């Protein structure tokens, strides 16, 4: 079951929040495992996610797919914003970590 959309009824939001770790999608579980070690920005999360997929730890996903699953984890209360940093290109970005 995916996370609830903003327009979904409250019951959908409650159901999304009640998911256990095992019931989350593979991509969401991977993101939580990655962020269990260190707070990271989206680019860093994807770099580690990609490396894990290459090693066979989980299936490949696109950059936008990983970013979307991270956003859902924020909405579901698993992750929260931990601060700001700069990307490798010098742009400001947000840092994410476990709630």
- Containing structural domain, residue 42: 25-98
Is 73 a domain residue? Answer: yes
- CA 92 remoteness from chain centre: 19
Q: What does the pLDDT look like over 9-37, one tens digit per residue?
A: 766 556 556 557 678 899 999 999 999 99
Contact between 48 and 58 under an 8 Å Cβ cutoff? The reply is no
φ, ψ at 51 (rounded to 5°): -60, -40
Number of separate domains in the chain = 1
In three-state form (DSSP H/G/I as H, E/B as E, the rest C), the secondary structure along 15-38 is HHHCCCHHHCCHHHHHHHHHHCCC
The CA-based diameter of the chain, rounded to the nearest angstrom, is 42
Q: What does the pLDDT look like over 34-93, one tens digit per residue?
A: 999 999 999 999 999 999 999 999 999 999 999 999 999 999 889 999 999 998 889 999
Question: What is the value of pTM for the model shown?
Answer: 0.78
pLDDT at position 13: 55
Is 16 a domain residue? Answer: no
pLDDT at position 1: 37
């Amino acid at each position: 079951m995916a996370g609830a959309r903003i327009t979904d009824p409250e019951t959908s939001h409650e159901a999304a929040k009640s998911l256990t770790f095992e019931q989350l999608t593979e991509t969401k579980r991977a993101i939580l495992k990655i962020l269990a070690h260190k707070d990271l920005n989206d680019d860093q999360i994807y770099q580690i996610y990609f490396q894990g997929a290459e090693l066979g730890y989980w299936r490949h996903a696109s950059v936008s797919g990983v970013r979307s699953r991270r956003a859902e984890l924020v909405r579901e209360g698993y992750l929260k914003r931990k601060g700001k940093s700069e990307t490798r290109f010098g742009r400001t970005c947000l840092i994410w970590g476990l709630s």
